[in-house]
Amino acid sequence: MNQPNRIHLFQGFGIELEYMLVDKDTLAVKPITDEVLKHELGEYGSDFENGIVTWSNELVLHVIELKSTKPELNFNALEHAFADDVRRINAFLDKQNAMLMPTAVHPFMNPLTDTKLWPHDSNEVYDLYDKIFNSKGHGWSNLQSTHLNLPFYDDEEFAKLHAAVRLILPILPALCASSPILDGKLTGVLDTRLTFYKTNQAKIPSITGKVIPEAIFSKRNYLNTIYEKIKTDIAPYDPTGILNPIWVNSRGAIPRFDRGSIEIRVMDIQECPSADMAIITLVIETLKALVNEKFLNLEDQMKFKTESLVQIFDKTLSTGQKTSIDNWDYVQAFGANSNCTTIELWKKIIERLSSGNTALEKWKPELSVILSEGTLSDRIIKSLEGDTSLEAIKRTYKQLSGCLAQNKMFVP
């Protein structure tokens, strides 16, 4: 999130959406993101600023990121800008018999043979990552996510925001899971992307931790506890000091004290910008309620232990909206009066937030699909009707690409 001046809680948001470039017929990945950017810039480069949305490269050549150029409050304008840019990119890709494809993982890409890393500026960082972790794997070269950047001004605001974010992370896959297929097969897990995200840097455990961040609520403690540990642990692999511990931190929510923001990274990309913006709005409104202590006071929010949150998170990765939450303190924190499933808890949260909430009202159609028809993973599985042949998978993912192109929800 480009942020020249610090802003306060909920005064603007940075949003990043990542999409795959694929062949229109075969859906094989098309490693031509550099050509897309060159078409707009006139030369190879990593960023093309197009009004309120900027296009950027990622680690691999078949992924492009669309992000808000600066912190935004007007989500209606941002949604339309994302959709317009998808159409603009698709117009160029059409000449290459290619198109953008959504969802958090490619369903049959072979990362060992299909991966091509970004070869242009800043590629020394990508090369080092490849050397340390081998980027030719699903957890590196085959994952697309939605990132939400939330601002904080000082330590007091950081404490409130970090406490709230830690609480909401475990149940986000019940809204966002979109990665049920890998290597041409159903994995049995609804959020397969995050199962790889948890382990792809296991060589240096301090980088990812347990994904759910530790209960740390001040800049000093975070720098001393987390960033110093990462710095020490990566040093043997990075003798020339290329890697900044702040970049390397890969928890599910990452504080950036240099620019005053926390970035949430556990959300799978959806089928279209309107779906992502609907989920992001719900997340923000829930965080606002937590920060304003409408559910639970700050002191009690801070008491939740990482391990208990991790248990909920890990179960939700597998079973999504059907996950039974048997942590009484957790469900009670959101106003539920008995143990429930994640989807029941989300419905309870929305019920409590909805009164007079015009932000949520705008996205009611999109949220209704997710609440009634399931996560995108659920809907992908339903669309296959038991047929997991490559042709059936291609048919569904072509439909998903059509949803992205038209900015409409996928309802099989």
Q: How confident is the model at residue 173 (pLDDT cuts 50, 70, 90)?
A: very high
Average pLDDT of span 370-376: 98
At 227 the pLDDT is 94
Percent with pLDDT over 70 in the chain: 98
Tens of pLDDT, residue by residue over 121-144, are 766 777 787 788 776 777 778 999
**Distance, C-alpha 410 to centroid of its chain:** 19
Average pLDDT of span 180-197: 96
Average pLDDT of span 15-26: 98
Considering only CA atoms, which of 313, 311, 302 is closest in space to residue 267? 313
**Tokens encoding 233:** 């642990």
Please state the three-class secondary structure of the chain as a single string.
Answer: CCCCCCCCCCCCEEEEEEEEEEECCCCCECCCHHHHHHHHHCCCCCEEEECCEEEEECCECCEEEEEECCCECCHHHHHHHHHHHHHHHHHHHHCCCEEEECCCCCCCCCHHHHCCECCCCCHHHHHHHHHHHCCCCHHHHCCCEEEEEEECCCHHHHHHHHHHHHHHHHHCHHHHCCECEECCEECCCCEHHHHHHHHCCCCCHHHCCCCCCCCCCCHHHHHHHHHHHHHHHHHHHCCCCCCCHHHHCCCCEEEECCCCEEEEEEEECCCCHHHHHHHHHHHHHHHHHHHCCCCCCHHHHHCCCHHHHHHHHHHHHHHHHHCEECCHHHHHHCCCCCCEEHHHHHHHHHHHHCCCCHHHHHCHHHHHHHHHHCCHHHHHHHHHCCCCCHHHHHHHHHHHHHHHHHCCCCCC
The burial of 122, by beta-carbon neighbours within 10 Å (0-12 exposed, 13-18 middle, 19 or more buried), is given as exposed
At 123 the pLDDT is 67
Average pLDDT of span 199-214: 92
**Tokens encoding 65:** 């990121």
Angle between helices 33-41 and 75-94 (to 10 degrees): 100
At 407 the pLDDT is 98
At 131 the pLDDT is 81
**What residue type is 402 in one-letter code?**
G
CA distances, 277 to each of 190, 273, 288, 295, 400 (Å): 21, 6, 16, 23, 17
What domains appear along the chain, each with residue ranges and CATH number?
A: 14-406 (3.30.590.20)
At 233 the pLDDT is 94
**CB environment 58-88: b (16+ within 10 A), e (fewer):** bbbbbbbbbbbbebbeebeebbbbbbebbee
Q: How confident is the model at residue 297 (pLDDT cuts 50, 70, 90)?
A: very high
- Name, of 2-6, 118-122, 189-193, the range with top average pLDDT: 189-193
d(CA 410, CA 412): 6
CA distances, 365 to each of 275, 320, 349, 403 (Å): 9, 20, 17, 15
The residue among 117 and 350 whose pLDDT is bigger is 350
Mean pLDDT lowest among 5-9, 284-288, 374-378: 5-9
| pTM, two decimal places | 0.96
d(CA 271, CA 275): 7
At 159 the pLDDT is 98
Mean of the per-residue pLDDT values of the chain: 94
At 386 the pLDDT is 97
Average pLDDT of span 171-178: 98
CA distances, 258 to each of 22, 56, 154, 166, 212 (Å): 36, 21, 11, 20, 21
Tens of pLDDT, residue by residue over 236-259, are 999 888 888 888 899 999 999 999
At 122 the pLDDT is 66
Percent with pLDDT over 90 in the chain: 86
At 130 the pLDDT is 75
At 3 the pLDDT is 45
**What residue type is 407 in one-letter code?**
N
Considering only CA atoms, which of 160, 285, 162 is closest in space to residue 213? 162
At 309 the pLDDT is 98
d(CA 350, CA 324): 18
Cβ proximity of 370 and 347 under 8 Å? no
Is 2 a residue whose pLDDT tops 70? no
Q: How confident is the model at residue 399 (pLDDT cuts 50, 70, 90)?
A: very high
